[in-house]
């Protein structure tokens, strides 16, 4: 699996892929969305926290203290 990174604006649920990556057209990809949210959306944060706790290998109490 390969990874690429770019910044884009999500508008009405649509994310435009830059022209540099046209070769990805009609291919299955995995999308990870990272964003800064200074508003503190507690519902979204709870979903993110919940997802990470479902994978045993990701549980590290020392690292978890950083996010509290």
Please choose, from the candidates 28, 27, 24, the residue with its C-alpha nearest in 3D space to the C-alpha of residue 4.
24
Neighbours of 52 (CB within 10 A): 13
pLDDT, position 2: 87
- Between 9 and 37, the more confident residue is 9
Digit-coded pLDDT (tens) for 12-60: 999 999 999 999 999 999 988 887 766 666 666 666 655 555 666 656 6
């Amino acid at each position: 699996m390969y990874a690429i990174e770019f910044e884009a604006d999500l508008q009405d649920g649509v994310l435009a892929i830059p022209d540099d990556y046209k070769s990805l057209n009609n291919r299955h990809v995995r999308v990870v969305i990272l964003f800064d949210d200074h508003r503190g959306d507690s519902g979204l944060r709870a979903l993110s926290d919940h997802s990470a706790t479902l994978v045993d290998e990701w549980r590290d109490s020392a690292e978890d203290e950083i996010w509290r």
